[in-house]
Structures are given as structure tokens and as C-alpha cells.
Chains A and B, each alone.
Chain A
Amino acid sequence: MNVQKKNTFPKTPTGISGLDEITKGGFPKGRPILICGSAGCGKTLLAMQFLVKGITDYNEPGVFMSFEESAGDLAQNVLSLGFDLDKLKTEKKLRIDHVRIERSEIEETGEYDLEGIFIRLNHAIDSIGAKRVVLDTIESLFAGMSNDTLLRAEIRRLFEWLKGKGVTTIITGERGENSLTRQGLEEYVSDCVVLLDFRVIDQIATRRLRIVKYRGSTHGTNEYPFLIDENGISVMPVTSLKLDYKSPGDIISTGLPALDNLFTAGGIYRGSSTLITGTAGTSKTILAAHFAMSSCRRKEKVLYFSFEESPDQLARNMATIGINLQSQIRAKLLLVHASRPSLQGLEMHLLVLNKLMTEFEPKTVIIDPISSLITIGSSSEVRAMLVRLMDTLKINQVNALFTSLTQLNSSNSNDATVDAVSSLADNWINVKNEDSKGNRVRSLLIVKARGMGHYNDCQHFIITNKGIRFLTQN
């Protein structure tokens, strides 16, 4: 019965958003953790963030022993992320010790050990009462000294000693050709190994993180994308979500009373997701804008992802049909985030969305059009991403609206987006343009609406200077 409550052992929260979710609470407390990856994948940054967050969020002082960069360089490198190392140092919360090994000025003769490192670490740890330690990158020792056997034995002894000292230690290591690290450090760190990866697929770069091993603890096993931006590293635990979100029962408006009336409940459920499909020029964006305005009128923030138009262009175009998005942007109720789909990978878009969701706390999210994202990934990737996206929105009880461009000649069933989204979306509205006796006739059809009844016939509408107006009133 209390299997779930049984906690395997104490953990040290990393303070890195997303990583604590994947590791179910953080790194193993008082043990060494190996972070490996190729050059430039963010090892040092992750380690530094672990230390700084430890100080600022959990009041655990930290020691950074650098075998590569000098203290000054380190401080400068992370200043742009808002980490003020000098301040933490003067507060006696952080110590940086740069171990500089110049092979040219060193002569080796006879037996020696690495007691000097032990003493320096011990002194640094005790002087500030450190709970967290980073060794970045201890493998540099192998370049500075010739006795590999001795170094291995000493490094093993160092890890054991750190364990005995009760500090949680991050050890970084460069990715080797056939092993996780060049010197096979993973043999000595048996508790937790994290692999960072930096990949370019179809000219789009994605950083990924994977927990290779976490002894005695369950953890997410997938590769998780992570982002390095002005706030440091954030990892997205995208696939750890479950189908256990709450479903509110109240009804919200779509922004068009006539459209609301097509649903028997007089609107759509809060926190539901709506898909609008249609070919080019069938006023999908206008429907989305109406939806955005209805949310703004309820004083609920709207996050609008525009993959085709700039915020200005969108606001200008909507103004011509009487939808004043600009005033809502000014009132900070509407945030339009415009970017090119090919700017970054799918996962990155999702991460950005997640970040904006936490920062802006919208009640409504619009993605216009979601089909643009399809162009940048394989269909299985896209589907996986959309599932995560929907789940994220559901968990936050955010009203979601996606538009999707369908091709003229293809039926809905073989369209990639529709295929991926339609089964996930709660409501599905299809808009159409038809030629009828030389006139263009716009019509709208509700394909599905989960949990409520809806009209089954086509509703004709026109676009006026006050937005969409339905011709057949019901």
C-alpha cells in the first residue's frame, strides 16, 4: 500500500526547472553524479546552475573546482545568465578554486598522490560549510600528468572521499569515442550518470538530456530536450505527463455568440482544445482572433503563437474587420509571439511555449497555424510533440485553439496535422470556401464536440467590418 510513499533515499534538488521532475526530486544526496557530453553541450553551465541554485534556492553553499577555466572567466561566462558569482563569493556561499596544471613546468619523479587536491577541496568545503561540489573537468588531470594508473586510483579515492564527506558532487566529463567519458569515469561513478547531447538534425540544433543511470531511484528514461537561454538551463519533462488532469465543467464563449449557439451547452468547455481546419483563406485566423478577444473580455490572458504573421501585421489585419487586438496587447492581456517554424526544432518551440506559459500565465493559448510545425519534423515526432503540448495545456486548464491549414485536394483523413490533432482535440471545426454560381460561399461545420451536442449542418457566414457574421441565425 505504501509502495508509492516509500522514498528510496534523500535527494538534492537541482533547482533546474524540469530536471527535478525527471529525476523525481533531484540528484542523489551526498553522492557523486557524472555529467558527460561532448564539447559545448552545456556541462559546465548545468554544474554551475546546480551550485548557484543550491545557494539561492536551498541555502546550500557550494564549491566549484575548475580544472579548465579560471575563476574570472567562469564568472564572466555566467554573468549573462544573472548569476553573480562575485557576490556569492563575498557572501561566503561560494568558493571557486581553479586548479591550473601546466605540464611544461612540471617534472615527475618517484611516487606521489593527489593529496593536494583533497586538501584544497577539504579546505574549501569546510571554510563555507559546502553541501555541493562541482569538479569541472577532472579528466584534465590526465593531460597534465603521465601516470594514468595512479590518477585513476586517486580519482576513485577522491570520489569515495567526497561520498564520505557527505557532499553532493557533480563531476563533468568529456564524451569519449566508445565510452561515456574519455577516461571511463563512469566506472567510478556508479550512482547517477547524466548524458548531455547537442545534435543538428535537418539544420536545426537541439540539445538533449538523458539520465543514463540512477541507482536506487526511478527516473524518466527518455531523451529530454533542454534549452539554454537568459535564465540558464531548462529541461522539459515532456513525456512524464499522465492522463489525470481535471476537467472543469464551466462553459466559455468562442467569441461569437452565434457560434456558441451551435453547441448545446452554449459554448465550449473551459480547458478544452479546439481545432479549426480549413484551406487557405477560409478565415481560420479570424476565428482565432475572435476567440482571443472573448478571453480578453473575460480579463483572461491570451498567448498567441503566430507562425506566419508578425504581431503588427496580425493586429493591423484584424483591425480592418473590427477586431482590436492592439489595445489588448497594450493592456498586457494579449501576448503575440511570432517566430518562424524553422527557427528551431519542434521541441524548442514546445519549450518556448512552456516557458512563456509559466512566465505569462495565460488562460488561453492559440497556435496559428499548428500545421506550420509539421514542416519541421517527421510525422511521428510531430504527433509526439502535439500530445505533449495538449497535455501541458490540459494540466494547466488552458483553453487551447489551434488552426490547421489543409490542402485543397487532400481529404482530411490523410492530412498529417489533422490526423495528429483531430483525435486529441475536444472540438473540431472545419471551415470551407465553395464556389456557388460564381460567388464564394463561406461555411462552417462542427465536426465534433466532446461531451456536448452540436448542430450538424453547415453554417454559412460572411466577413464584415465587424468580424464574422452568420447568415443562418439559429
Chain B
Amino acid sequence: MAKAAKEKLWELRLYIAGQTPKSILALQNINKYCKEHLHGKYSIEVIDLLKNPQLAEGDQIFAIPTLVRKFPEPIRKIIGDLSNEERVLVGLNVRAMNLETKASDEKKRSS
């Protein structure tokens, strides 16, 4: 499992609108989590929508700040200042355990 995680490359995009406290906090948070859990296997692109408003439509951004996990697929969005580490890690699919339990839960529900 750990091996598989290492081979993955996380491609993240953080959408902000100017240097607001929420945006700065989100950027700090994601940098911290990535350093701790992804060990260099990631890239973060920060997009300031005040400078590039036309980019908001493509990733269906409505809330600010929004972290988009472009890869691994499927695309997921985490909105907010990312202050809850657990939820961010689940959203990023870093905590595989949680995701697996979630998946099995879903299987139970659908069957």
C-alpha cells in the first residue's frame, strides 16, 4: 500500500482570490500537509482568480478558497481554509484506509 502511494503523483490546484486571510491560511495548510504526508510526490499550482478570472469556469469554482485534486482521478474539490487536516487528507485520497472503509460502506448501501 505504501509502495503504491509513493508511485502516485498528486497534482493539486489551489484557487484563491487575492491575499485574503482564508486564502493565505489554506495555502499554509496545504503546504504543511503535503510536506508531511506526500514527501515530494506532489505539485501545487496556485491560481489567483482576481488575476485570471477566466480560469474559474473550467474547474467549476464557486467557493474560495478551493483546492482541486486534478490527479489522482476522479477530480475532487475541497472548499474552505483546509483547517481540518483529517478531512483534507481523506479528500486528497492520502488516507487510503478511510477511503476504503468509505468504499465498502457504499458497496453495502448499494447492495
Contact = CB atoms under 8 A, between A and B. Distances in A.
Interface string A85-106: 0000000000001011100011
B22 interface: yes
Interface string B49-73: 1100110110011111110000000
Contacts of A108: 78-80, 87
Contacts of B22: 110-113
Contact of A101 (B54, B62, B65, B75): B62
Contacts, number: 96
B63 A113 contact: yes
A110 B64 contact: no
Interface in B75-100: 75-84, 87-88, 90-91
Interface stretch (A14-22, A117-125, A395-403, A412-420): A117-125
B76 A105 contact: yes
Nearest to A99: B62
Given A109-B87, A109-B88, A110-B26, A115 B80 contact: no
Contacts of B53: 119-120, 122-123
A116 interface: yes
A109 B82 contact: yes
B81 A112 contact: yes
A99 B56 CA distance: 10
Nearest to A141: B62
Contacts of A114: 62-64
A107 interface: yes
Given A105-B75, A107-B78, A110-B81, A123 B64 contact: no
Query: Chain A, interface size: which category?
Result: 20 to 34
A116 B74 contact: no
A444 to B, nearest CB: 73
Nearest to A95: B57
Contact of A116 (B61, B78, B81, B83): B61
Given A107-B91, A113-B64, A120 B56 contact: yes
B56 A106 contact: no
A145 interface: yes
Contacts of B64: 112-116, 119
B15 interface: yes
Contacts of A123: 53-54, 56
Contacts of A100: 60
Contacts of B38: none
A229 B95 CA distance: 55
B15 A116 contact: yes
Contact of A109 (B57, B62, B74, B78): B78
A154 to B, nearest CB: 9
A273 to B, nearest CB: 58
Nearest to B62: A116
A72 B30 CA distance: 36
**Which has the most chain A C-beta neighbours within 10 Å: B15, B29, B56?**
B56
Contacts of A101: 60, 62
Contacts of A141: 62
Contact of B62 (A105, A110, A120): A120
A58 B83 CA distance: 49
Contacts of B54: 123
B98 to A, nearest CB: 12
B62 A117 contact: yes
B65 A112 contact: yes
A120 B60 CA distance: 10
B34 interface: no
A122 B18 CA distance: 15
B21 to A, nearest CB: 9
B67 to A, nearest CB: 9
A111 B91 CA distance: 16
Nearest to A147: B80
B87 A107 contact: yes
Contacts of B44: none
A97 B56 CA distance: 11
A116 B63 CA distance: 5
B59 to A, nearest CB: 9
A110 B26 CA distance: 9
B20 to A, nearest CB: 8
Nearest to B92: A107
A115 B17 contact: yes
A99 B59 CA distance: 10
Interface of A: 97, 99-101, 105-117, 119-120, 122-123, 141, 145
11 contacts: A100-B60, A107-B78, A107-B91, A109-B82, A109-B84, A110-B82, A111-B81, A114-B63, A116-B64, A116-B66, A119-B61
Given A110-B25, A111-B22, A115-B49, 19 more contacts: A100-B60, A105-B77, A107-B78, A108-B79, A109-B91, A110-B22, A110-B83, A111-B83, A112-B22, A112-B65, A112-B80, A114-B63, A114-B64, A116-B17, A116-B62, A116-B64, A119-B17, A119-B49, A141-B62
Closest 9 pairs between A and B when the two form their complex, measured CB to CB: A110-B81, A110-B80, A110-B83, A123-B53, A115-B64, A107-B91, A109-B84, A116-B61, A116-B62
